[in-house]
Chains A and B, each alone.
Chain A
Amino acid sequence: MTVAVLEKQLYDVLNAVVLKKMADISAISEATARDDEDVKTAMETLGERSLVVMVGESAMPTDEAVAALVTAAAKHYDEVRQDTVIAQVADKFEAVNQRFLEAMSAWQQVDVGGRKVANDHQDSSYDAKIIDKMDKLVSRLNRQLEVLAERDPRFGTYSTRFDRAMCLVEGGEIDYVSSPTLDSLHNIWFEFHEDLLRTLGRARKE
């Protein structure tokens, strides 16, 4: 049986569900810059195609979701994948990504006499250095996001989310650095990385 390739709106919604793993309608709407009603309609269609399942108020992807996205991405992003400028953006990101992950681990744990212990966030100068490093890395990524957004505007939503999270962090709400339950810098970064890999048909380096 031939399965229809997901049209772009369904791709965007399903992609957001897969990136977030578990998300309600409003979170998907924000990530896709679409109205709640459009997302609800798309979600119903995706449910009928057994690509998402609702667990309470949250949508989760089924086993078939990623395969459907991979097939659709190959079609929707064929031109982007041939674009040497985008290939350079992706290559640059890999280096920035490693530095971001190291900064995130340094945010969570500090080295005390060779032992890693949880950062209790009592040393404000230490935290400020890490936040400054993350700010620079996010700024570098934002320049890459601008290039990507010229090919697909949905990549612009990441810049909006980064700006908001960074403002909150700099305003003292430091949970927005790494909390897995907020739209934190780490969550946004991770979603972008996975999104980029799928868009370009690349494999994640372990």
Chain B
Amino acid sequence: MEVVAEGYNTFETHKSPRGVVKYLDSPQDVISLIQSGTLTEYILLVRGGTTTFLAPALSTGAIGVITMSGAPESHLGILSREFQTPCVMTAHLTNSDSRYEVGNSDEAHFDEIAKTLEGMTVQLDCAESEVGKVIAIS
């Protein structure tokens, strides 16, 4: 088992959800996933802490979330704590030097993370106070 990404942990929890990473890029992606009935099979990857279209997924049973930007104090961070949905924010790949910087990260940063993680079966480790880990299990 390898830690493939790390980021801010929105809250400390022993919940350690496991699933296939699915990148959600639009409201339609969220609607389709909810309607498919397979929401709980996935760890949801979104671009930012202000990715507001994710809210319906949280309220309908999402098991875990990874974001590529945003802070635990953001709207999504607040929602993840309310729903007690483990969430790793501003995740970066452990084998890459690329880090998110507010207003200074290009598309390549996000593409690299999305392409690396999408489709991977992972487990979220949010047991530490500050750091959340994304662990590859296959």
By a beta-carbon cutoff of 8 Å, the part of chain A in contact with chain B is 21-22, 53, 55, 60-63, 65-66, 101-102, 104-105, 108-109, 114-118, 178-181, 186, 190, 194, 204-206
Q: Which 7 pairs of residues, A with B, have the shortest CB-CB distance?
A: A22-B56, A63-B28, A21-B55, A115-B129, A105-B73, A180-B82, A101-B73
Chain B residues with Cβ below 8 Å from A105 are 72-73, 77-78
Closest to B26 in A: A63
Do residues A206 and B69 form an inter-chain contact, with CB atoms below 8 A?
Answer: yes
Do residues A108 and B28 form an inter-chain contact, with CB atoms below 8 A?
Answer: no
Do residues B82 and A179 form an inter-chain contact, with CB atoms below 8 A?
Answer: yes
CA of A156 to CA of B42, assembled, Å: 40
- State how many angstroms separate the Cβ of B32 from the closest Cβ of chain A: 10
Closest to B9 in A: A116
The segment from B44-52, B91-99, B110-118 found at the interface with A is B44-52
B35 contacts chain A at the CB level, 8 A cutoff: yes
Q: Can you pick out 8 interface pairs between chain A and chain B where the beta carbons lie within 8 Å of each other?
A: A21-B53, A21-B56, A60-B27, A62-B28, A108-B11, A108-B82, A178-B82, A180-B59
B81 contacts chain A at the CB level, 8 A cutoff: yes
- State how many angstroms separate the Cβ of B86 from the closest Cβ of chain A: 13
Q: Which of A116, A117, A206 contacts B48 (CB 8 A)?
A: A206
Measured as residues with beta carbon below 8 angstroms from the partner, the interface class of chain B is 20 to 34
CA of A206 to CA of B53, assembled, Å: 15
Do residues A65 and B58 form an inter-chain contact, with CB atoms below 8 A?
Answer: no
Q: Which of A55, A104, A181, A194 contacts B31 (CB 8 A)?
A: A55
Do residues A65 and B11 form an inter-chain contact, with CB atoms below 8 A?
Answer: no
Closest to B78 in A: A104
7 extra interchain contacts, Cβ-Cβ under 8 A, other than A55-B31, A116-B129, A118-B11? A21-B56, A105-B77, A108-B82, A116-B11, A179-B82, A180-B58, A204-B50
CA of A66 to CA of B53, assembled, Å: 11
Do residues A206 and B49 form an inter-chain contact, with CB atoms below 8 A?
Answer: yes
Chain B residues with Cβ below 8 Å from A190 are 52, 75
Chain A residues with Cβ below 8 Å from B81 are 108-109, 118
| Residues of chain B in range 91-131 having any CB-CB distance to chain A below 8 Å | 102-103, 129
Do residues B69 and A55 form an inter-chain contact, with CB atoms below 8 A?
Answer: no
Closest to B102 in A: A206
B79 contacts chain A at the CB level, 8 A cutoff: yes
Do residues B31 and A53 form an inter-chain contact, with CB atoms below 8 A?
Answer: yes
Chain B residues with Cβ below 8 Å from A114 are 129
Do residues B26 and A55 form an inter-chain contact, with CB atoms below 8 A?
Answer: no
- State how many angstroms separate the Cβ of A39 from the closest Cβ of chain B: 19
Give the most central of A66, A101, A181, A186: most B CB within 10 Å: A101
Q: Which of A63, A65, A186 contacts B78 (CB 8 A)?
A: A186
